[in-house]
Amino acid sequence: MSRVPRRLAMVAAPITAALMLLTACGGSGTNSNAPAPKAALGQNDINPQDVANLKDGGELKYPVQDYPVQFNELQGDATSGDIPPITRSMMPTPSIEKADGTFTANKDYVDSIELKSKDPQQVVYKLNHKAKWSDGTPITWADYKSQWQAVSGKDKAFVVLSSSGYSAVSDITKGADDYEFTINFQPKYAEWFRLFQVLYPKSMTSNPDEFNKGWAEKPKVTGGPFKFGQADPTAKTVIVVRDDNWWGDRPKLDRIIFRNISTTGGAASMDALASGELDFSGIAGNLDAYKKAQTIPGVVFRKATLPNMRWVLFNGSGDSVVKDPELRKAIIRGIDVASITKAEVSQLIPDAKPLGNHIILDGFPGYQDNSAGYTYDAEAAKKKLDELGWKLDGQFRKKDGKQLTVRDVVPAGNKASDEEAKLVQNQLAAIGVEVKIDEVSNDGFFDKQVIPGNFDITHFANMDVTNLDTTTVDYKLGDGGDQNYGKVGNDKINALIAQASEELDDAKRMELFNQIDKQVWDLGHSLPLYRRPSIVAIKDKLANFGNEGLAATDYTKIGWLK
């Protein structure tokens, strides 16, 4: 499945959500217990077929881990990674990512996107005159300008998920007509191509109430190959149907049914796949699910390499016991990431290694291991805890009469989080730190636990790393650090992020990312574990779909082989 800009997933969650879970290892649906084969960076695995080989009609039963709380994916409540797969089947996607991680103009909406000038930085859009909203209104430069104004962060009445990128835009000016405009940046913005991966109509983005609440129950206007059919919050399904007024290539499917499966990637989703209730399911690192899927007739695996990682996040805010950065770093040294990696993914990826970088994952350009001094060393951890005044008193440590007890919040039914939490619990007990695992409802895990900082530590997947947007929202402190849930950061990191944001040279930007990562290690912000071995189990007759890698999904070409 394609990447979307969400890290949130119990997964992944980030994601995490089903879409994000759908990244992966693949191969044939045999009964072998061999490790899932590797996937090359920059490639995808979607069973590519000429649309002439596909049936006209049919449906796709698509699992999601969260029913959408909001159909405006730019709004602050739209944290789940399951929202973009739904919305982007219906809404314009002007800038789309390819399998190799580069971006291009989606010709259904944009004739061209060109970096016209580097200093001052200007990007020129020329729009497809055929593009229109479902109410017949043309899609023009005014829609783009209105979205920028809403998401820029300047008007606090608009509650946005992230203003990253948009906040660097100084103005959007009309060109020769309503179908041409220039984006002016001040300061410069390195990853300018990431803007407008989704577009909403001016009728929504020009009004704060409409932006924040108007699309909570359903979208009011669409502009994609599919249009809104129905949403059933009781059955937790969203149905989109083919839009006959679509001006691009006619979609092969009649409809897509997005169905909430709370334990995507586990036994329930494998049973649903076997019974025909689903047409595919993410597996991630769940070995039991992988083996189960191998027994389902007509099911194969599809693979791709994505910048998705599992991590342990620390809470440095409020009254959390791990508010002290030195304590966080001591605890980090008491966690054996190598053994966790081996336990969780070695049967699927035998050569999997612990990550030494929060921002650039192994296998991606610019990766270097910055973990020196923060790797597992139980004796060093004990010594540091002693120095901090946390003395062993019986089985666990105390300071000023208070026992060192860390609350580890995990979502119920998530195998990876549960297993990781138990391993961390045992490892930290060995250095005198008590870990209490607090298993909470999977429903609203992020909204009720992670976002408000209701944890000491927690586990989930960060689904979209190795880019500026993720770096900003995860590690910046203050405005723009929308998903820095532990509130751990400093002015130096903020300054480096600002510098990276303006650096148009990719190699130099990677150097800055590594400088940021060293600071992140030094603050004990979080502990990266391993790159996720995501897996998609999918019906073998489903074509042009499965694991897009970094590429955006082309909903018009998904279909069933004749």
Report pLDDT digits (tens) over 147-190: 999 999 999 999 998 888 999 999 999 999 999 999 999 999 99
> 254-263, 336-345, 351-360, 447-456: which has the minimum mean pLDDT?
254-263
**pLDDT of 460-492, one tens digit each?**
988 778 888 888 889 999 987 878 999 999 999
Query: Among 12, 546, 7, 6, which residue's Cα sits nearest to residue 285?
Result: 12
pLDDT above 70 as % of the chain: 91
User: Are 60 and 541 contacting, i.e. CB atoms less than 8 angstroms apart?
Assistant: no
Q: What's the start-to-end Cα distance of the chain, in Å? A: 23
Is residue 245 domain-resident?
A: no
**pLDDT of 100-145, one tens digit each?**
888 999 999 999 999 999 999 999 999 999 999 999 999 999 999 9
Is residue 14 domain-resident?
A: no
Q: Does 542 have pLDDT greater than 50?
A: yes
Residue, of 8 and 268, whose pLDDT is higher: 268
**pLDDT of 207-220, one tens digit each?**
999 999 999 999 99
Task: Say what the pLDDT of residue 393 is.
Answer: 96
Residue, of 36 and 190, whose pLDDT is higher: 190
User: Are 345 and 352 contacting, i.e. CB atoms less than 8 angstroms apart?
Assistant: yes
What does the pLDDT average to over 87-91?
97
In sequence order, the 6+-apart residues with CB closer than 8 A to the CB of 103 are 95, 96, 97, 193, 194
Is residue 333 domain-resident?
A: yes
Is residue 73 domain-resident?
A: no
Number of domains in the chain: 1
Average pLDDT along the chain: 89
The CATH number assigned to the domain holding 404 equals 3.10.105.10
DSSP string for 317-354: STT-TT-SHHHHHHHHHT--HHHHHHHHHTTT-TT---
> 25-34, 61-70, 240-249: which has the minimum mean pLDDT?
25-34
Is residue 196 domain-resident?
A: no
User: Are 411 and 9 contacting, i.e. CB atoms less than 8 angstroms apart?
Assistant: no
pLDDT above 90 as % of the chain: 72
The token pair at 203 is 């009728």
Cα–Cα dist 432/426, whole Å? 10
> Alpha carbon of 182 to those of 130, 145, 177: distances in Å?
20, 10, 12
What does the pLDDT average to over 389-415?
95
What does the pLDDT average to over 376-396?
98
Cα–Cα dist 229/231, whole Å? 7
Is residue 522 domain-resident?
A: yes
As a residue count, the chain comes to 562
**Number of neighbours of residue 379 by Cβ within 10 angstroms:** 10
363, with CB counted inside 10 A (0-12, 13-18, 19+), is middle
Is residue 542 domain-resident?
A: no
Is residue 58 domain-resident?
A: no
Q: Which residue has the tokens 């291991």?
A: 369
352 is in which domain, residue-wise?
309-531
Query: Among 20, 29, 39, 14, which residue's Cα sits nearest to residue 303?
Result: 39
Task: Say what the pLDDT of residue 362 is.
Answer: 87
Q: How far, rounded to the nearest angstrom, does the alpha carbon of residue 487 sit from its chain's CA centroid? A: 19
Angle formed at CA 264 by CA 262 and CA 269, multiple of 5 degrees: 100
Q: Does 20 have pLDDT greater than 50?
A: no
Omega into 120 within 30° of 0, i.e. cis?
yes
Residue, of 82 and 435, whose pLDDT is higher: 435
Sorting pLDDT into bands at 50, 70 and 90, what band is 42? low
